[in-house]
Structure 1
Amino acid sequence: MSKKRILIVGGTGYLGQHLLQGLSEIQGAPYDVAFTHHSTPPQALLQAIPRSLAFHVDLQTGQGFDAIAQTFGQPHVVVNCAALSIPRACEKDPAAAMSINVPSSLVKWLSSFKESDTLLIHLSTDQVYEGVKSFYTEEDETVPVNVYGKSKVAAEQFIFANCPNFAILRSSIIFGPQTISPIPKSLPIQWIDGVLSRGDKVEFFHDEFRCPVYVKDVVTIILALTNRWISERKQLQLLLNVGGPDRVSRVQMAEAVAHIKGYNPSLIKPVSASSVDCGVMSPADISMDISKLVQTLAISPVSFRDGVRLTLATEATS
């Protein structure tokens, strides 16, 4: 019996690396694993997860996918973590945001296989919502306020129209420990910890709300979908909000870190998001209702405080 094949597109990013790590820790190594990267392959990652194959792929042109088919074969599951995900960068270059974030070359490649028995798990975002109410459900209308959100809505629509088997995960801010091969962009909890530990007074928005989700919970969700598809082989067309159970402002995120690390809470200065020009429109409240996730997969993500505690404990020992 040959092993099932899993391909992670964007394996060098934050979630991609945590997913590779999660797959490598499964007893008995039931999957063959490959990942794509756009820049140079990360040696630290390849050394830490020696059984995985790395492929250079250009998502805008689709160059590199044929080499995967020849060497690795048709994957049973593809997890698309690749994105231009910094809203300001998307705002500056909408064409790049659309060509990278709408996975047209990936879906075209998947549709070239005779058997359509690949499940595409695609990472979307809470930024598809307008941000004018609390606890959005999957049925709510998508009215994104920035280019990043618009590119992610376009991606969802493209997958709905062109893909027979998929699960779209609308994720909130993903937080947790640093990756095996450290990523260049700053991580939210580590950044808050860093500024508060210096004793600096720092401004945080009190009126911008999210449902941040602990990275290992996202990995658990992806593995649960993978196992379900491989064991049942039933066509899936699923859309899920993937957030943590808590609706928190940036101030409350900082307060949680201060509480756990014993920092002076008076260092946290609440300001309105409207008082700062970030160069891109940011939705005010895109908290999400995750009851469909909990019902569908019987997975309950950890509370924000517990996730922060786990993150800081991991950083302290690494």
Structure 2
Amino acid sequence: MERKTKVVIVGGTGYLGQHLLQAFAVNNGRDRYDVAFTHHSSPLPRRLLDAFLHFPAFPVDLKSGLGLNSITKDFGQPDVVVNCAALSVPRVCEQDPDSAMSVNVPTSLVNWLSTFETNNTLLIHLSTDQVYEGVKSFYKEEDETVAVNVYGKSKVAAELLIKDKCQNFAIVRSSIIFGPQTLSPLPKNLPIQWIDSSLKIGETVEFFHDEFRCPIYVKDLVNITLNLIDRWVASDHKQMQLVLNAGGPERLSRVEMAQVVAEVGGYDLSLIKPVSASSVDRGVVSPADISMDITKLIQTLEISPTSFKDGVRLTLLESESQNLP
């Protein structure tokens, strides 16, 4: 019988982490993969435990690395580690830069990988479009990374660490991630659901007309990750050093995102009030235009990311089914 590929998802209770676990659970992943995940919050929500009973869960403190050796001892040396864990709210990172750097720069994780007997473990690391300065459109992977806030700077530092210390890695620079709620609902507002709920009750909401992103549908990001894992498993030489922009196919302002939600939901467009990003103090500098060129992603992985409108439609459809009694 062929040996299963061991995959560890670091930050499995977060938004992307839960969607990855769900994909492994529903796609007969158990036939090909042994999957484990880490978590920082305790106790784990009952819904999450019930949904992923067959996936071992390990409490891990990324700041200190406490708990990582338990994975090697009880689960075994992983073939692939997917790092989804991060302090990802820019304002929070600005308020506590020490925590942002200690969590977002995965020193303990990289040190743990370096203790393995063989160097055949692939690290897939989730980075961000905020590594770019935001002074032009459609950044390419080889463009200089000049972050303007602590969150972006912590992610630049993480990328440099991984490139320096890891033999095999895929760094995935994600834009805003949107999609349906997780099995164990997260306390934070999800972008599409928040816009939809505001417009649904007839609330006038301000959106920036001069801040541009390439929002990506969460299931596309899941497919990108699974694609990278499959390529790694199929590779004979076990060599990968890859940086990919992972955005959706469109450059959109916040206003344009809201307008698409209004169009899909059938809401009054006049509820959307365009304002300049410079008119609001968010407690953190935010890059103006970090839209990304995703040509390399499409050519390397042979995928076509979902359009924003289709992603919004799928998100709202799933949200409706989740809310049914």
User: TM-score range with shorter-chain normalisation?
Assistant: over 0.9
Does 38-47 or 200-209 show the bigger shift?
38-47
| Equivalence for 1:306 | 310
Q: CA deviation at 1:65?
A: 0.5
1:90-129 alignment runs, 5 A limit: 90-129=93-132
Q: CA deviation at 1:6?
A: 0.4
Q: Secondary structure at the match of 1:177?
A: coil
Q: CA deviation at 1:43?
A: 2.0
Question: 1:262-315 CA deviation, whole Å, 9 max, x = no partner?
Answer: 100000000000000000000000000000000000011010101001100110
Q: Distance between the aligned counterparts of 1:22 and 1:10, measured in 2? A: 15
Q: Distance between the aligned counterparts of 1:27 and 1:123, measured in 2? A: 24
Q: Secondary structure at the match of 2:281?
A: coil
Equivalent of 1:61, from 61, 64, 78?
64
The percentage of counterpart residues that share the same residue type is 68
| Equivalence for 1:24 | 25
Report the TM-score, using the length of structure 1 for normalisation. 0.99
Off by >2 Å, runs of 4+ in structure 1: none
| Equivalence for 1:34 | 36
Q: CA deviation at 1:28?
A: 5.9
Q: Distance between the aligned counterparts of 2:301 and 2:265, measured in 1? A: 33
Question: 1:51-106 CA deviation, whole Å, 9 max, x = no partner?
Answer: 10100000000000111111100011000000000000100111111000000000
1:133-212 alignment runs, 5 A limit: 133-212=136-215
| Equivalence for 2:231 | 228
CA 28–286 in structure 1, closer or farther in 2 if over 3 Å, else same = closer
What is the one-letter code of the residue matched to 1:195? S
Q: Distance between the aligned counterparts of 1:272 and 1:28, measured in 2? A: 46
What is the one-letter code of the residue matched to 1:258? A
| Equivalence for 1:4 | 5
Question: 1:84-133 CA deviation, whole Å, 9 max, x = no partner?
Answer: 00000100111111000000000100110110111000000000000011
Q: Distance between the aligned counterparts of 1:4 and 1:187, measured in 2? A: 32
Question: 1:222-272 CA deviation, whole Å, 9 max, x = no partner?
Answer: 000001101114300000000000100010010001001110000000000
Q: Distance between the aligned counterparts of 2:41 and 2:204, measured in 1? A: 37
1:81 aligns with 2:77: no
Q: Distance between the aligned counterparts of 2:155 and 2:266, measured in 1? A: 38
| Equivalence for 2:251 | 247
| Equivalence for 1:282 | 286
Report the TM-score, using the length of structure 2 for normalisation. 0.97
Question: 1:126-175 CA deviation, whole Å, 9 max, x = no partner?
Answer: 00000011100001111110000000000000000000000000000000
Unaligned runs of 5+ in 2: none
1:258 aligns with 2:259: no
Equivalent of 1:292, from 296, 304, 307?
296
Does 229-238 or 164-173 show the bigger shift?
229-238
What is the one-letter code of the residue matched to 2:246? V
